[in-house]
Structure 1
Amino acid sequence: MTVSFPASRQRTVLAKLATLYADMDAAYAGAAAAAGLSCEGCAENCCVSFFQHHTLVEWLYLHKGLAALSAERRERYLARARDYVASAREALSRGETPRIMCPLNDDGLCGIYGQRLMICRLHGVPNVLIGGMGVREFPGCEPCQRLAAGNPNIKAMDRTPLLRRLAGLEMELWGSKAGRPPKVDMTLAEMLLRRPGE
């Protein structure tokens, strides 16, 4: 099923997402500073982590960044995305968790850094999510876990309010359409290769 939204609503919601992303970045920076975590020079690149993404609003924002690139650069990322999807399927068929470089990674830098998704912004620091399933704890990346082992006073960032705002934007984007937004469960590479809502 392909879905579409009024252009004015889409602009409004994506502008709010940009504000939310800035708040996520600030929350992450504060938590990383408190833990003494820096990604600079890290040999354990998070960009090979296997993440699934779940929101249509982020998918739209990702494509906004993709559309702003030159045709040559965009095609380079799409070619990498096709290779990523094929390699991930092979790994999954063997029962392995894929560890493949993100197709948007250019020599350690994100090719559309301003449009990177929520998990790319919040992964790394210890965090908690409080909801209907109780409290879910995430220890952060391995370098941060090593820092935390030597400092029991490091506190987990509560990402619950940020995720609630993201869920609210998803519903605002959906508007008065009947039913619920379509379920999104894709890797970033899969998102790149499909138009939002397809």
Structure 2
Amino acid sequence: MKKLTPKAAYRKLAALYKRMADEYSDVAGAVGLSCEGCNDNCCRSYFQHHTYVEWAYLWEGLNSLPEAEREAIRQRAETYLDEARIALEKGERPAAMCPLIREDGLCGLYEYRLMTCRMHGVPNVLVRPDGRVSSFPGCWRTQELAGDQPEQLPTLNRTPMLKELAQLEMQFVGKKLQQMPKVDHTIAEMILIGPPKFS
């Protein structure tokens, strides 16, 4: 398999992200889901992310920001990890605000946000390689909209997009992927660790 240059990988990832956004919008529109006025911000959800290509692309976005903005994000990432550690030590699921969220409540790297951030909220399914199906009913607001008939809601199939992301990960990292540590980081950890290293 031919290894992609970072620039080529980022182009492919941006195109995949656009498809994710389009499919998400189609399902959210059909469901009637809107995030406006939501008091349970999904940006407080404890997400961990699993690909080097997304991690590197996040840093592509961070490096495009003014230094002062990057430093503010870094400081928020430190606060996030402190809050998450305290929650985890208590046996609780962390609910700290993502460090990319600015004072105005918007994501400071919206175009670079990772797959998990993009797909949260609508009902979706994933068909695993062994044929088993994992289902997510959607966020609490989606479940409210479904009422007692969740099977009537349209569902987003994540499987083709995850397969494409896995393929892109292999093309981005190359033959070293099997020897590399598995990625299992929050965005805050990706920020504080720095860009992924491949040597």
Normalising by structure 1, we get a TM-score of: 0.92
Aligned to 2:107: 110
How far has the Cα of 1:175 moved from its partner? Answer: 2.0
Contact kept? 2:80, 2:188, Cα under 8 Å = yes
- C-alpha distance in structure 2 between counterparts of 1:109 and 1:89, whole Å: 24
Cα 1:20/1:178, change in 2 over 3 Å: closer
Q: Are 1:195 and 2:194 an aligned pair?
A: yes
Contact kept? 1:182, 1:197, Cα under 8 Å = no
Runs (4+) of structure 1 exceeding 4 A deviation are none
Aligned to 2:162: 163
Contact kept? 2:124, 2:156, Cα under 8 Å = yes
Where does structure 1 lack aligned partners over 5 or more consecutive residues? 1-5
How far has the Cα of 1:121 moved from its partner? Answer: 0.5
Of 62, 68, 80, the residue aligned with 1:84 is 80
- C-alpha distance in structure 2 between counterparts of 1:170 and 1:68, whole Å: 22
Name the Cα RMSD after superposition. Answer: 1.6
Aligned to 1:131: 128
Deviations 1:30-69, CA, capped at 9 Å, x for gaps? 1100100011122221110000000000000100110000
Of 13, 24, 27, the residue aligned with 1:31 is 27
Aligned to 2:141: 143
Which has the larger displacement, 146-155 or 106-115?
A: 146-155
- Percent of aligned positions with the same letter in both sequences? 51
Of 3, 7, 17, the residue aligned with 1:21 is 17
- C-alpha distance in structure 2 between counterparts of 1:140 and 1:178, whole Å: 32
Normalising by structure 2, we get a TM-score of: 0.91
Deviations 1:131-188, CA, capped at 9 Å, x for gaps? 1351001111100111112554112211000111100100001223373543100101
- C-alpha distance in structure 2 between counterparts of 1:91 and 1:127, whole Å: 28
- C-alpha distance in structure 2 between counterparts of 1:89 and 1:30, whole Å: 37
- C-alpha distance in structure 1 between counterparts of 2:154 and 2:147, whole Å: 12
